[in-house]
Amino acid sequence: MRPIRILIADDQPLVRQGLKAVFAPLDDIEVVGEASNGAEALERVRRTSPDIVLMDVNMPRMTGLEATRRICSGEFGDTAPKIVILTMYDRDEYVFDALRAGASGFLVKDVSPDRLADAVREVFAGGALLSASVTRQLIREFVRRPALPSATAELKFLTGRELDVFRLLIQGYGNAEIAEKLHLGESTIKSHVQHLYRKLGVRDRVQVVIYAYENGLM
């Protein structure tokens, strides 16, 4: 099985070197390129076809947010990589907009090397990176925004158990925590989560939270 191909986009050379050093000893993850700004990231994506881009937010020439929008907008078709946002702080003002633009997750730069590698594997396998603390930060951001009309009726197509899972997902709980709270097996919760994704027309838990906000369900 080929290694996961990643591109590192960050305007700080020391950060790029540090990230490359994390992945260098690993057989299942390969750094195929790096970029110092968003425009360069787009060019490198075209040239190297990575599976995942680790994208800084604040970069010159073109921000990571704009690069994320373009990569996730369909410009790269089926070859578009998944985007994981990198930032110094979990309160970065652009995080919500980047996730809404299509990013698959969010990492603070003080993440441990092991967690970083696991995060790459998780996103590559189809998961999403959104910790409970980040989810709650997004919810606080939603609360500050103008209220939207309630769309509770929109959830009538969910079963009672799926609705229980939905409510816990948008509070930032992971599958294991949801399983414990509902006294169910984790595999059962994973099945409910996948059913939720299909019914809501979303791809991951990040999009579930955004769906909840945009439909007045937070």
- Regions in the chain scoring below 50 on pLDDT: 153
Q: What is the pLDDT at residue 56?
A: 92
The reply to whether 158 and 96 lie within a common domain is no
The reply to whether 87 and 187 lie within a common domain is no
Q: What is the pLDDT at residue 139?
A: 58
Calpha distance 211→218 (Å, rounded): 9
Specify the length of the chain in residues.
218
The reply to whether 15 and 116 lie within a common domain is yes
Q: Which of 79, 103, 129 is where one domain is finished?
A: 129
182: phi then psi, degrees, rounded to nearest 5: -95, 0
CATH (domain of 15): 3.40.50.2300
Q: What is the pLDDT at residue 108?
A: 80
Shortest CA distance to 63 belongs to which of 19, 9, 108, 12? 9
- Confirm whether 105 is domain-assigned: yes
User: How does pLDDT run across 15-39, given as a tens digit for each residue?
Assistant: 999 999 999 999 999 999 999 999 9
CATH (domain of 163): 1.10.10.10
Residue with tokens 């994320």: 68
Q: What is the pLDDT at residue 132?
A: 54
User: How does pLDDT run across 92-104, given as a tens digit for each residue?
Assistant: 566 677 777 788 8
Calpha distance 53→175 (Å, rounded): 25
The reply to whether 165 and 194 lie within a common domain is yes
- Spatial CB neighbours of 61, under 8 Å, sequence gap ≥ 6: 37, 38, 39, 40
Q: Which of 129, 157, 175 is where one domain is finished?
A: 129
The reply to whether 14 and 94 lie within a common domain is yes
DSSP for the chain reads -PPEEEEEE-S-HHHHHHHHHHHTT-SSEEEEEEESSHHHHHHHHHHH--SEEEEESS-SSS-HHHHHHHIIIIITGGGPPEEEEEES-TT-TTHHHHHHHT--EEEETT--HHHHHHHHHHHHTT--B--HHHHHHHHHHHHHSPP----GGGGGGS-HHHHHHHHHHTTT--HHHHHHHHT--HHHHHHHHHHHHHHHT-SSHHHHHHHHHHTT--
Q: What is the pLDDT at residue 74?
A: 79
Q: What is the pLDDT at residue 144?
A: 62
The reply to whether 200 and 117 lie within a common domain is no
Q: Which of 129, 155, 174 is where one domain is finished?
A: 129
- Confirm whether 166 is domain-assigned: yes
The reply to whether 113 and 8 lie within a common domain is yes
Total of domains in the chain: 2
Calpha distance 156→29 (Å, rounded): 42
Q: What is the pLDDT at residue 93?
A: 62
The reply to whether 72 and 14 lie within a common domain is yes
The reply to whether 18 and 98 lie within a common domain is yes
The reply to whether 119 and 159 lie within a common domain is no
What is the residue range of 205's domain?
A: 147-214
Q: Are 19 and 26 a contacting pair, CB within 8 Å?
A: no
